[in-house]
Chains A and B, each alone.
Chain A
Amino acid sequence: MTLAINIRHRLGSFLLDAQFETGSGLIALFGRSGSGKTSVINIIAGLVPPERGRITIDGTVLLDTERGVFVQRHRRRIGYVFQEGRLFPHLTVRQNLLYGRWFAPRAKRGDDLERVVDLLGVGTLLERRPGRLSGGEKQRVAIGRALLADPRLLLMDEPLASLDEARKAEILPYVERLRDQSKVPIVYVSHSIAEVARLATTVVLLSEGKVAAVGPTSEVMQRLDLFPLTGRAEAGAVIEATVERHDETFGLTELASRAGRWRLPRIDAPVGARLRLRVRARDVMLAKSAPADLSALNVLPGIVADIGPHDGPIVEIRVDCSGEALIARLTRYSVERLGLASGTPVFALVKSVALDRRSLSGPLQTAFGPNPEAGDA
């Protein structure tokens, strides 16, 4: 799939002027509140006609203001999962799920009800009405409803924003399953770097109505110049790793990555499973020589690749560990004391306990996230 967007739209004093082109998978539209993320997907869905623009999916033109093309929202076949669910209160969960199917072209009805019900674990809710569902259940039904309309693209507008942490943890595995098992590409709006790092294949970073960066998640996440936009406190590198073995004696799991070997508290994923590990910059220390007698279990050799702006007390440093990037956040004092500069060989140290289940994601996340089959406890 190729989604190509070029739009210009004014909302009061706010100017949205965004161009980007992305491929399949989960595309995160990421940025602070008010950066124009929701406006972008409202325009893609056809809910808001922009002043000027052109939107195409796989060559199909949905909008071209120059040629006067505006495909009506009900003809776009773009699924939309709203922040607040927006389930129909007068219909049962089953009727909600099947609503869009009724309008989908008969020949193209791909996903069947059972498969989607299974994927989202809503089997026990089918005969109930939305008024009695929990927030997490509502969002799962909303996702299923959008999927069953057989969309060519699924838009999700901060589907977790109105939920508490426990409910978020309940939904995230379903979104991951959706990304990995369904062929429908997803545009996912979020202002949470944790969600983006965990879910996104591609990141489109928006800032004040403009596209600040587009690229694969790990690439965008490691760019020091974007840290002011991505949010400093939670910033960090995203690393692809494979489960190598479990140490039952001490309850540890070992992961292999290009950067080296990682050890972290035991996780419930089979050997060989591919995971995504988010290492926050504030959890990484740097040393110039290999430290001895150290409690931190993860010691990864690398070379300083880039040093971020150092006008404040804190400096971000990108370390190249055999081709994989790690970000470390240090004080400017430490950077100068150690004499760190581009090309300095260093060791990156990460405490194992800093890598908890929330910094991990992957196809088998369900095994150590809350059990999705258990529903709302």
Chain B
Amino acid sequence: MDWMTLSPEEWTAVQLSLRVAIVATLVSLPFGIAIAMMLARGRFWGHSVLNGLVLMPLILPPVVTGYILLILFGRRGPIGAFLADHFGIVLSFRWTGAALACGVMGFPLMVRAIRLSVEAVDTRLEEAAGTLGANRTWVFLTVTLPLIVPGIIAGMILCFAKAMGEFGATITFVSNIPGETQTLPSAIYTFTQVPGGDVGAFRLTLVSIAIAMLALLASELMARFANRRLDIE
């Protein structure tokens, strides 16, 4: 058996994993920034509740999170039925469902990283921008957002990495359907369950390591670029 060439099924799993992780990260990003801003700056009733809700997937067993998603977003679930009836969007047992599960699992990590960088922003700079004529939207776009770019990058990388490795919630919510919901971890798991699957599992493990390494290198480069722009002393 060839050690280095991926079979078509394995290649599909790799592509699917990348697609799921990228979509999960990009779709979470605007929500992640908004929630991080609210948690860092907002003083409102229910602040702690929101914080708890966001962090919940980090603490709950992933299988529980997946099961909750199944209840809420399944074909008969309250949100799933609504989406299917009104928009024709079906998440259960689809790759989009895998992206939702990965996004939910990566969300707390993303929010945490962005929130820390928002809290590090000197609000006096925003005050200064206000006296120079910028309204709140412009202050956010021209001062706050550029200053939290390193945090946003860190949050995206964490979310992406979590999404690439997500297993429990995904397999519970959307199962393990080759070509549709079988991501890298599910594929590796499947290989380990069948006799003679070691070689396939090993190949996919190498692929996982390579992707993780590349993601880390990319984040390092982007962080260095962002820091140079900020000219941190």
Contacts and interface: CB of A to CB of B under 8 A. Distances in A.
A173 interface: no
21 contacts: A47-B130, A72-B135, A74-B130, A74-B131, A74-B132, A74-B134, A74-B135, A75-B133, A78-B131, A79-B131, A80-B128, A86-B128, A89-B232, A90-B146, A90-B147, A99-B129, A99-B142, A102-B133, A146-B131, A149-B131, A149-B132
Interface of A: 45-47, 72-80, 82, 84, 86, 88-90, 99-100, 102-104, 129-132, 145-146, 149
B231 A82 contact: no
A100 B143 CA distance: 12
B179 to A, nearest CB: 45
A103 B146 CA distance: 18
A88 B232 CA distance: 12
A50 B138 CA distance: 25
Contacts of B230: 89-90, 131
A100 B230 CA distance: 20
Interface string B142-170: 11001100000000000000000000000
A129 B124 contact: no
Chain B interface size, as a band, is: 20 to 34
A89 B131 contact: no
B133 A86 contact: no
B120 to A, nearest CB: 12
B133 A100 contact: yes
B2 interface: no
Nearest to B142: A99
B124 A86 contact: yes
Contacts of B125: 86, 88-89
A146 B142 CA distance: 17
Given A90-B147, A99-B134, 13 more contacts: A47-B127, A47-B131, A72-B130, A73-B130, A74-B133, A80-B131, A82-B124, A88-B129, A99-B132, A103-B132, A129-B231, A131-B230, A132-B231
Given A88-B143, A89-B147, A104 B133 contact: yes
Contacts of A129: 231
A299 B132 CA distance: 51
B128 to A, nearest CB: 4
A253 to B, nearest CB: 42
A159 to B, nearest CB: 13
A84 B130 CA distance: 16
A88 B230 CA distance: 9
